Amino acid sequence: MGIALAVMSVLSLSLGAFHIPLYSVFGILIDTVGLELIDFSQQQSNVLLHIRLPRILMAILVGGGLGVTGAALQGLFRNPLVEPGLIGVSSGGALFAVIFIVFGSTLPFLSYFGGIGLPLFAFLGGLINTLLVYKMGSSVGKTDISLLILAGVALNALSGALIGLVIFYADDAALRNFTFWSLGDVGGANWSKVGISFLLISGPVMLVLSQFKNLNALSIGENEAFHMGVDVQKVKYILLFASALIVGTAVSFTGTIGFVGLIVPHLIRMTFGADHRLVLPGSFLLGALLLTFADLLARTIVMPSEMPIGIITAIIGAPFFIWLIINVKKIRS
């Protein structure tokens, strides 16, 4: 799958509104380490290094992050229907991102954070929503999935309403910023954003990957995991915290991209089994692959303009979700 991701990345580098032949792609990449073997134009190089490459790296980081988060949350809540968007992580992140964008210029203390402020703020929102949903959805240590989803729906609605309220108070400049952000897809990526995302996403992803044994134990049940020596409460907080950080960062840079966190872990489980040793890294790779592919489609379908990437993931994701709901009994048994 790693190879597939590499191939997809190179293909994505080549294809697009401004076509760069494959051999030139290699030429430019080799040139960056100092070897001039294959000819290319300066324009090709600029497009590739400053527009396309950061954008693809962003797609890999965000897609992989969403995939891992989906797998981790499904494992944590012991339910295959959980998804960062469904339980309110994304909407909480979005709300706080919007607050930051709209009030960022009027509240001077917010500007101290610089470029890292937006993702950190979105992380905070995601974390608050996740904890609220989790508290509402569980009683006496057991997670009631219908309560959990209801709590998610309620918080999603509330966050949506509050986003509307914030926009209502936004001035023209803030509104324009918001519009750009909400259309936001991986297209807005530049090297500084990629750097910040890498900092904020790679750490929590590693943290989640290290929890594979505990997630396996949790699949039998929280009490059983405790009997086997897992500090369940600690694992929960690690996973919720890491998920909020990953999704918050992703949302703050690329807007809410749905369904990646839902579909990807399922596809991995169907092909490689349920062992989180494989499910977690597999979900990262497939999530990255899927989002890179979706981004490629978004850039090429309606060339030379672009389609928002969220539309593409939803078009693939929503029917899959419906199929999943119909077949959930079979998958569980």
Partner 1 sequence: MLQAQDIHFCIRNMPIVDKASVSLAPGELTVILGPNGAGKSTLFKVLAGEIPCKYGKVDYNGSPVNGFSAKNLALVRAVMPQHSSLSFPFKALEVVELGLLSGGGSYRQDLLEEVMNETQTWHLKDQLYGNLSGGEKQRVQLARVLTQIWDKKPFPRYLLLDEPTSSMDIALQHHVLRIIHKIKKRNIGVLAILHDLNLAANYADKVILLKKGRILHQGPVKEVMCASNLEEVFEHPIQVFSGLEDSPMIIQSIPFVQNHLEIKLA
Rg (CA), the chain: 20
Residue labelled with tokens 């380490």: 33
Instruction: Determine if 228 is a binding residue for partner 1 (CB under 8 A).
Output: yes
Instruction: Determine if 331 is a binding residue for partner 1 (CB under 8 A).
Output: yes
Task: Show Cβ contacts of residue 246 under 8 Å, excluding neighbours closer than 6 positions.
Answer: 65, 66, 68, 69, 200, 201, 204, 205, 208
Instruction: Determine if 142 is a binding residue for partner 1 (CB under 8 A).
Output: no
CA distance 177 to 307: 19
Binding mask 67-86 for partner 1 (x = CB under 8 A): -------xx--xxx------
Task: Show Cβ contacts of residue 154 under 8 Å, excluding neighbours closer than 6 positions.
Answer: none
Of the CA atoms within 13 Å of residue 62, those in its CB half-sphere come to 38
State the amino acid at position 283 in one-letter form.
S
* Residue 194, beta-bridge partner list: none
User: Are the C-beta atoms of 87 and 308 separated by less than 8 Å?
Assistant: no
Instruction: Determine if 223 is a binding residue for partner 1 (CB under 8 A).
Output: yes
Instruction: Determine if 217 is a binding residue for partner 1 (CB under 8 A).
Output: yes
Instruction: Determine if 32 is a binding residue for partner 1 (CB under 8 A).
Output: no
Between 76 and 132, name the residue whose CB sits nearer to partner 1: 76
* Residue 142, beta-bridge partner list: 139
CA distance 100 to 97: 5
Binding mask 248-287 for partner 1 (x = CB under 8 A): ---------------------x---xxx------------
Size of the site for partner 1 (CB under 8 A): 27
Binding mask 194-213 for partner 1 (x = CB under 8 A): -------------------x
Binding mask 229-248 for partner 1 (x = CB under 8 A): xxxx----------------
Binding residues (CB under 8 A) for partner 1: these are: 74-75, 78-80, 213, 216-217, 219-221, 223-224, 226-232, 269, 273-275, 331-333
